[in-house]
């Protein structure tokens, strides 16, 4: 701006006003007044850094159970990480907080901070950090000071067997008070808040990795057969205690059959995580419901054998079910639904096999068919070590 203003004045009558200014007059302003104008304009501009540099440091933790595989941005507010009051703000009428982002952008700066500060051992469990909130907000305090609040919220997801398991969430932060002219406290406070979040993750992993199922790195399966016949209404399968006619307690039903037995099977599962491995124990129950089984007449050994073979068939199906439940076929995250699926498939197999058995033996009336099934069942029972 030149040290003068041109003031255009036309001395001509209105009819000559169309002519341009012919004799401009210089209006000079005192130099001191101009300097005050310039200085006043400069003071109205907020004094803030263009970006906050998040300093890379070696973090005071050495993870032994995980490494950070990635950082994902889920913040609602992504314009800037910090909202700061300018250092030249008038205490009587402070300037509103202005957005100042981290150098390189909030997500990139925080991702770089974590990668440079933490050891990456890719043989450990990969963890994905979901950055849900990271913000520094300032307000005018008393006595010309500025009050700051840091809020950090992170969620931590564990990647296991190609799937992501959500584990735990952290919410923390800090507060500070600074002189209006000093901004040096902002970055260290933010850095410490991020460090605290990662310390929380490290502590949580160390406390939970060895006995929390979601963090397990392996799975072992063992089976037990329930053979304790303490329930008066239920006979559990035991090669040493086959069916007797006294187990048929229901009232006979009308029809052409002399007897009917109702065998079935079920399982109960129990899991414990020990040293990062899920130990799954499955208890198999192959049983006959006594109060649903009945006999009308002809209580001979031949008829009892036919009913016993129905019981044996269920036992064989249960043994084949066990073979399907191997660690190689299961996942730590989803083993329960896999077992349930295989159980339903085995249940269908049991139904088909029982129907085939009755069809080919004529419900016990076809003696040659019955003998063929007797041999087939005995051979399979020996394969599974149930009979010698």
Regarding whether 197 and 239 lie in a shared domain, the answer is: no
Q: Which of 159, 192, 209 is the last residue of a domain?
A: 209
Q: Report the C-alpha gap between 90 and 338 in whole angstroms.
A: 67
What pLDDT, on a 0 to 100 scale, did the predictor assign at position 9? 31
**For the segment 9-19, what is each residue's pLDDT rounded down to a tens digit?**
334 444 343 34
Question: Which candidate, 215, 92, 81, places its Cα nearest to that of 149?
Answer: 81
**For the segment 91-144, what is each residue's pLDDT rounded down to a tens digit?**
667 789 999 999 999 999 999 999 999 989 999 989 999 999 999 999 999 888
Regarding whether 341 and 282 lie in a shared domain, the answer is: yes
What pLDDT, on a 0 to 100 scale, did the predictor assign at position 89? 67
Please report which residue ranges of 59-176 form alpha helices under DSSP H. Answer: 106-117
For residue 28, is it within any domain? no
Q: Report the C-alpha gap between 67 and 56 in whole angstroms.
A: 17
Regarding whether 291 and 199 lie in a shared domain, the answer is: no
Q: Reduced to 3 states, what is the DSSP secondary structure of residue 52?
A: strand
For residue 36, is it within any domain? no
Regarding whether 235 and 129 lie in a shared domain, the answer is: no
Structure tokens at 257: 């059959």
Length of the chain: 388
Structure tokens at 318: 């249960």
For residue 361, is it within any domain? yes
What pLDDT, on a 0 to 100 scale, did the predictor assign at position 46? 58
Regarding whether 267 and 358 lie in a shared domain, the answer is: yes
Mean pLDDT of 266-287: 95
**For the segment 171-225, what is each residue's pLDDT rounded down to a tens digit?**
999 999 999 888 999 999 999 999 999 999 999 999 998 888 878 888 999 999 9
Q: Would you say residue 332 has pLDDT above 80? A: yes
Regarding whether 139 and 89 lie in a shared domain, the answer is: yes
Instruction: Give the count of domains, the chain.
Output: 2
Regarding whether 301 and 154 lie in a shared domain, the answer is: no
For residue 362, is it within any domain? yes
**Full domain range(s) for residue 128:** 66-209
| CB 85, CB 146: distance < 8 Å | yes
247 contacts: CB under 8 Å, gap ≥ 6:
235, 288, 290, 293
**For the segment 20-59, what is each residue's pLDDT rounded down to a tens digit?**
333 334 334 444 433 333 344 444 455 789 999 999 999 9
Q: Report the C-alpha gap between 139 and 349 in whole angstroms.
A: 71
CATH number at residue 165: 3.40.50
């Amino acid at each position: 701006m030149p040290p003068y203003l041109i003031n255009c004045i036309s001395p001509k009558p209105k009819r000559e006003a169309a002519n341009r200014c012919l004799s401009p007059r210089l209006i000079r302003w005192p130099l001191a007044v101009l300097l005050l104008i310039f200085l006043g304009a400069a003071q109205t501009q907020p004094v803030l850094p263009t970006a906050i540099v998040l300093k890379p440091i070696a973090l005071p933790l050495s993870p032994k159970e995980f490494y950070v595989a990635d950082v994902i941005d889920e913040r609602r507010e992504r314009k800037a990480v910090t909202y700061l009051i300018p250092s030249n703000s008038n205490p009587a009428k402070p300037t509103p907080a202005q957005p100042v982002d981290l150098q390189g952008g909030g997500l990139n700066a925080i991702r770089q901070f974590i990668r440079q500060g933490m050891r990456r051992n890719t043989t450990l469990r990969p963890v994905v950090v979901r950055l849900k909130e990271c913000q520094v907000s300032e307000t005018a305090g008393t006595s010309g000071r500025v009050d700051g609040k840091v809020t950090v919220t992170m969620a931590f997801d564990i990647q296991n067997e190609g799937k992501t398991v959500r584990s735990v969430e952290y919410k923390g932060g800090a507060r500070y008070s600074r002189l209006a002219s000093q901004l040096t406290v902002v970055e260290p406070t933010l850095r410490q808040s991020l460090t605290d979040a990662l310390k929380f993750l490290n502590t949580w992993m160390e406390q939970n990795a060895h006995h929390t199922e979601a963090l397990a790195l392996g799975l072992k399966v063992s089976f037990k057969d329930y053979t304790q016949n303490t329930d008066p209404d239920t006979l559990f399968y035991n090669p040493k205690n086959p069916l007797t006619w006294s187990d048929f307690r229901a009232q006979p039903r009308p029809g052409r059959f002399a007897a009917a037995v109702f065998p079935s099977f079920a399982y109960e599962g129990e899991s414990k995580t020990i040293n990062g491995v899920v130990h799954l124990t499955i208890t198999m129950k192959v049983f006959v419901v006594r109060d649903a089984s009945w006999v009308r007449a002809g209580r001979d050994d031949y008829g009892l054998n036919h009913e016993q073979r129905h019981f044996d068939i269920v036992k064989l199906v249960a043994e084949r079910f066990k073979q399907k439940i191997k660690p190689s076929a299961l996942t730590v995250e989803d083993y329960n639904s896999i077992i349930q699926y295989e159980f339903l498939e085995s249940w269908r197999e049991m139904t088909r096999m029982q129907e085939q058995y009755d069809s080919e033996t004529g419900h016990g009336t076809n003696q040659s068919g019955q003998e063929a099934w007797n041999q087939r069942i005995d051979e399979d029972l020996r394969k599974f070590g149930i009979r010698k």
